[in-house]
Amino acid sequence: HIDLIIGAKTGPAGQAFLNALSNNKDGFTSLLAVVAPNLPCKPDTLLFNKVTMKGAKQAVQMFGPAQAAVARAVVDSVSSGVIPKDKANDYVILVGVFIHW
């Protein structure tokens, strides 16, 4: 399951985005969601794990299918109008991902 925060870059969500991106700890890593290599989704989206990653299997799940699914969901949300297209550059999204290891 996921926990989701979405808001303006200039508000509390933007500050949380910066904090999460810059405060990685052992076993807890944040990553930007990308649609394809070097193609980040918009709004800028940051994933972080909710439980400690203890091995390569967990990292592969987080950096592979979980990241790809979140990126596709963000793109689909903008395409369908759930997230207004004119706000895509003004918002940030933070996604806490809980994968049962």
- List active site positions: 1
H/E segment holding residue 46: strand 44-49
- Give 58: exposed, middle or buried? Use CB within 10 Å, 0-12, 13-18, 19+: middle
The three-state secondary structure class of 101 is coil
- Phi, psi angle pair for 51, to nearest 5°: -125, 155
Pairing mode of beta strands 91-97, 44-49: parallel
